[in-house]
Amino acid sequence: MLTLHCTPETKEGQLRLRLENHHAGLLKGDWRLHLNLVRGVRRVIDGPIRHLQQTGSHCLLAMSQPLAEGDALHCVLELEVAVARVTKLPLAAYAIAPGHPETLPVMVRWPGAEVGRSAGRSGGVPGLIPWPRYVEWLPGHLALSDEVRLDPGPDRARPAADWLRRGLAEHCRSDVTLGEPAQLRFRLRDSLEAEAYELSVTPKGALLEAADAAGFLHAAATLLQLLPARPLNDRDDAWRLPGVRISDAPRFGYRGLMLDCARHFHPIGRILRLLDLMARLKLNVFHWHLTDDEGWRLEIRAFPQLTEVGAWRGHSERLEPQYCTGPERSGGYYTQDEVRRVVAHAERLGIAVVPEIDMPAHSRAAILALPELLRDSEDCSVYLSDQRYSDNVLSPALEGTYVFAERVLEEVCELFPGPWVHVGGDEVPRGVWLGSPRCRALMEREGYTRPEELASHFLRHVQRFLATRGKRMMGWEEVLHGPDLDPGLVAFAWTSQRVVSDMLRRDVQLVLQPSEFSYFDLAQSGDFQDPGLNWAGEVPLERVHHYDPWIGLAPDAPARERFLGLQAALWTELIASRERMDYMLFPRLTAFAEVAWYAGGQPDFEDYRARLIAYLPHLDRLGVNYRRPEES
């Protein structure tokens, strides 16, 4: 066994490594240590390292001296960014040595980062999150017995009735049937606005009213929150709904969550579970980040190589180990049948699915899978992306780039029936395309003077292709850095809330996803042990709930009409398990959902926190591994 002890020297930006050889035998000759670091290594300060190579997060350290069993070696690395928290330390490691047919596992030791435990509180007042626009508590309660009858009413309410029936059966262990007479009734109210609902509960029954399927789903979600998380007693009225009258409608029509499944693959069951948790919080858009430098996760029948090669990482794979993955083959992808299953489940829950195929940058997995189509053999450009790749950008001057984009997007449009397709468009590195004769010829032919115009040239072609399929193109804020694209573009503000005012100068709709309020891969405190990144600071629970998307805009500002809505994001460089996903999302996602939904002005944090304490037992019951509020 090999053990790697990591000790950061925060002030100097150094990382001290001690590699111990317990029972691995003699390591000699051209032996190498492989490890994954989120940030870059600037240089080797000390130690027997004759060569260092870094690709993305994957570092290869070629050693210049043997390591005998029972001995240890020391080295010191200078990092680009000082280690301020445990997740900046090596995430995974292994060794390769002559005479050893297999990769040698390395146990990485550093101060441990605990993943949160359940708070285990019992409920008090109902934990309604997000808070409705109007709530009036009424005397009495509605007791639900072992047999509950539910009247689904109009066809538009059928998905909500089925979801509520399943939710009640799981929650109360009751036999819930459809029919009349019923304690719970759905009824159509055409006068209500889109997604609005009214819910009234008296000792005689509960009435759920809406004008559309989404409104009925939101009413069902509120009713489930009104239930106690655990039975109140051991009698027939152990499950009670309090008397209440609620009138509610959303603040924004777009309330999204982005999940990155490229950096780490998350299995289909995890996606379906997340959609259920989103619906309970009245979130209605699932932005599915399916491709990036580190992985291609969507089956494309025109190009099977994309998943044969691009979906897998490992020491013997075309894509190196990155982030939390070691030398073994790891990864995965979603078949088209699995995608249809996700889309159908999301539709039943009133959630639109937005696929993202990130282009022209963040395309390394695709380029390595299809080099004959996507690699410009004459391009000698020198660049390095923010993630330290020098080969991750599609060429706007190659015919193969457009063949690739159109065939991929053709299948994407068939799989995803929603109105939007996200194409990324972000983080095109400086220096790209400048060394390509083909790109220089294209610039001269079109009269371009800046590389950003080449990116817009490609994205305009993609936008027009999507328009022929009835889709609107979405992209990150960088799609506005070049010349104007066609009308109908939706741009996402992500680097900061400060960029919103500049983006509003362009005639586009916006989705706000500012990192300092909505990036849930960022740590929740400044504690060294707290998992997460911190490039945009920490994002504690209170900060999420205090987010004011209207900041700097007058109440009657016309620009407000161009805000499509809000989105939270979970990038998964450091998130490879359901437990860590839960911990980074909850309870912050509840605070975000309230900001995106509550239409009665900026919500009060202390009031929200009291309701959250009552809501947490529901998360316990659902098996959510959330962060305890006292840690926030």
Amino acid at 203: P
pLDDT (0 to 100) of residue 306: 98
**Listed range (11-20, 233-242, 380-389, 596-605) with the worst mean pLDDT:** 233-242
Confidence of residue 235 (pLDDT cuts 50, 70, 90): low
Q: Which of 347, 427, 452, 453 is catalytic?
A: 427
pLDDT (0 to 100) of residue 124: 40
pLDDT (0 to 100) of residue 114: 32
pLDDT (0 to 100) of residue 2: 87
Q: State the burial class of residue 298 (Cβ atoms within 10 Å of its Cβ: 0-12, 13-18, 19+).
A: buried
Q: Which residue has the higher pLDDT, 529 or 424?
A: 424
Give the C-alpha separation, 165 to 178, whole Å.
Answer: 8
Structure tokens at 228: 């106690």
pLDDT (0 to 100) of residue 113: 33
3-state secondary structure (DSSP) of residue 225: helix
Domain 2-109, CATH among 1.20.1050.40, 3.40.30.20, 2.60.40.290, 3.30.1330.200: 2.60.40.290
Tens digits of residue pLDDT in 339-397: 999 999 999 999 999 999 999 999 999 999 999 999 999 999 999 999 999 999 999 99
The domain defined by 254-631 folds into: TIM Barrel (3.20.20)
The 3-state DSSP composition of the chain as helix, strand, coil percent (nearest 5) reads: 30, 25, 45
Confidence of residue 90 (pLDDT cuts 50, 70, 90): confident
Give the C-alpha separation, 360 to 396, whole Å.
Answer: 8
Q: Where are the domains of the chain?
A: 2-109, 134-248, 254-631
Q: What are phi and psi of 77, to 5 degrees?
A: -110, 140
Furthest CA-CA distance within the chain: 82
pLDDT (0 to 100) of residue 120: 29
**Listed range (110-114, 249-253, 497-501) with the worst mean pLDDT:** 110-114
**Closest alpha carbon to 454 in 476, 416, 481:** 481
- Is 80 known to be catalytic? no
**Strand 147-151 relative to strand 175-178, pairing:** parallel
Specify whether domain 134-248 bears CATH 1.10.10.10: no
Alpha helices in 321-436 (DSSP H): 336-348, 364-369, 371-374, 399-415
Give the C-alpha separation, 237 to 240, whole Å.
Answer: 6
pLDDT (0 to 100) of residue 350: 98
* CA separation, residue 286 to residues 278, 282, 492, 498 (Å): 9, 12, 14, 25
Q: Which residue has the higher pLDDT, 218 or 235?
A: 218
Q: State the burial class of residue 158 (Cβ atoms within 10 Å of its Cβ: 0-12, 13-18, 19+).
A: middle
Confidence of residue 631 (pLDDT cuts 50, 70, 90): low
pLDDT (0 to 100) of residue 174: 73
What is the arithmetic mean of pLDDT over 628-632?
71
Q: Would you mind telling me the total number of residues written for the chain in this entry?
A: 632
> Average pLDDT over the chain, rounded to whole?
92
3-state secondary structure 21-90: ECCCCCECCCCEEEEECCCCEEEEEECCEEEEEEECCEEEEEECCCECCCCEEEEEEEECCCCCCHHHCC
Using the CB atoms, write b or e for 68-79: b if 16+ within 10 Å. Answer: eeeeebebbbbb
Tens digits of residue pLDDT in 542-597: 999 999 999 888 888 888 999 999 999 999 999 999 999 999 999 999 999 999 99
Tens digits of residue pLDDT in 488-507: 999 999 999 999 999 999 98
pTM above threshold 0.85: yes
Give the C-alpha separation, 355 to 418, whole Å.
Answer: 9
- Give yes or no for residue 304 having a pLDDT over 60: yes
Give the C-alpha separation, 489 to 353, whole Å.
Answer: 17
pLDDT (0 to 100) of residue 187: 97
Read off the DSSP letter of residue 535. Answer: B
Residue 629: CA atoms inside 13 Å, Cβ hemisphere, count?
20
